[in-house]
A and B are shown apart, each in its own frame.
Chain A
Amino acid sequence: MKILLSILMAAMMSTSLFAADKLHKAQLQSDMRLMLNSLVDVQRAGFYNYKDGLLVSIKNLKAGLKSLKSTDAKSYLPKDHKNADRFAKKRVSMIEMYADDLSASVEDGNMDDAFDDFVLLQRQCTSCHIRLRKDF
């Protein structure tokens, strides 16, 4: 009886851990898509010189960073790039830095600086992806 109960407990725990892991990955993917869509929105708002739209899009972009910031990079990196976790974390902090500066540039009405920040922010995203995502 005791053994049966132990087996049952172990099965329940591993199932819930598996489910939690799946949920977490789903959240991460969802946040990445949020960030991608936010980048598109920033570009669109920039073209239309729409300041409020820019600020909202940047806020959304930063919201998408939450799970990246809280996740151990090793959990989502491909097997052959597990050791690049600190590189990935650095990209996250740089994205946040440029997003903050982009907001500040937009607030100041300095659109030249804002454009530079946008390009540099994108560079952080692609920098990580070029290194770590598989070629299609």
Chain B
Amino acid sequence: MERRNFLKVAGAGALIAVSPSLLQQKLYASNGKQYIAYERVQLTDAAGAPLKVSALKKEVNYVFNYPYASTPAILLDLNSATSSDVKLSTIEGEEYIWKSGVGKDRTVVAFSAICSHQLAHPTPNDSMLQFVDAKTPTAAYEKSSVIVCSSHLSSFDPANGNKRLSGPAEDPLPAIVIEIDEDDSIWAVGVLGPDRFHEYFKAFKPEFKKFYGGKRKAKKKVKDSAKTLVLNEYTKEIIQY
């Protein structure tokens, strides 16, 4: 190999060797505190095949567990492009920037489906937190096409980084950072925003026994792939006001 080519290859290698979380922190947050990189996990459909963006239906809730085996998240393909570079802040005053939705039209987003108020979330038995499509009215907000927690009627805007719109919740919902590969497959890579995983693991111990065989299994990090189901396949009852 010629010296010039060798240097190019070595340089490229060095760039890749830099921690991806450092790079992504600079992209997403002013000080890195609100972004955590987790395992890069491919979303798959019910049959285990890679889920493709082109297969997503508009405004349908697709549920997958990430970054832990028991922490539900929802993937959406919205009807219109999201905003870009949305500045958000937590109740503690930490600021961070949500870049935008992904995909060629910037319509694909994902969020942690654990309410920032009292941690309501989809379970295999029922779900009180989900996206409400444009045709469905909600008691939580004057408009639809928002995320609603029907426990205490908080709502969030998925087109603006899950910013809180109404109700007793004080923090935005954390975003699941999504990447789309050249082959149209979807990957979850991290969590951006004020997550409540620690409190969640303390609060739902009895549920973890029932659905996951215990807290230890519930706290296992998802690796390689995450099965993604439409909400009414994931849960028996959707409760929505």
Please give the residue numbers on chain A whose beta carbons come within 8 Å of chain B beta carbons, in ascending order: 83-84, 86-87, 90, 97-98, 100-101, 113, 116-117, 120, 123, 127, 130-131
Instruction: Give the residue name and chain of the B residue nearest to A101 (CB).
Output: B206
B170 within 8 A of A: no
B133 within 8 A of A: no
Assembly CA distance A90 to B121 (angstroms): 12
Contacts of B128 in A (CB 8 A): 87, 90
Determine the interface band of chain B, counting residues with CB < 8 A from chain A: 10 to 19
B190-233 near A? 1/0 per residue, CB < 8 Å: 00000000000011011100000000000000000000000000
Instruction: Give the residue name and chain of the A residue nearest to B207 (CB).
Output: A97
Question: Does the CB pair A120–B152 fall under 8 Å?
Answer: no
Is the contact region of chain A dominated by helix, strand, or loop, or is it mixed? helix
Assembly CA distance A131 to B120 (angstroms): 15
B104-142 near A? 1/0 per residue, CB < 8 Å: 000000000000001000000010100000000001000
The 4 closest A-B pairs by CB, nearest first: A101-B206, A86-B239, A97-B206, A120-B203
Please give the residue numbers on chain B whose beta carbons come within 8 Å of chain A beta carbons, in ascending order: 118, 126, 128, 139, 150-152, 202-203, 205-207, 237, 239, 241
Question: Does the CB pair A84–B205 fall under 8 Å?
Answer: no
Assembly CA distance A136 to B184 (angstroms): 57
Question: Does the CB pair B241–A131 fall under 8 Å?
Answer: no
Assembly CA distance A61 to B84 (angstroms): 51
Assembly CA distance A45 to B239 (angstroms): 36
Contacts of B206 in A (CB 8 A): 97-98, 100-101, 117
Contacts of A131 in B (CB 8 A): 152
Contacts of B241 in A (CB 8 A): 83-84, 87
CB distance from A6 to the nearest CB of B (A): 42
CB distance from A128 to the nearest CB of B (A): 10
Contacts of A100 in B (CB 8 A): 206
Q: Apart from A87-B150, A90-B151, A90-B239, what are 4 other A-B pairs with CB-CB below 8 Å?
A: A90-B126, A100-B206, A101-B205, A120-B203
Contacts of A120 in B (CB 8 A): 203
CB distance from A22 to the nearest CB of B (A): 29
CB distance from B25 to the nearest CB of A (A): 33
Which listed residue (B151, B207, B237, B239) contacts A127, Cβ 8 A?
Answer: B151
Assembly CA distance A98 to B205 (angstroms): 9
CB distance from A11 to the nearest CB of B (A): 39
Contacts of A98 in B (CB 8 A): 206
Contacts of B151 in A (CB 8 A): 87, 90, 127
Instruction: Give the residue name and chain of the A residue nearest to B117 (CB).
Output: A127
Contacts of B150 in A (CB 8 A): 87
Assembly CA distance A93 to B118 (angstroms): 16
CB distance from A3 to the nearest CB of B (A): 46
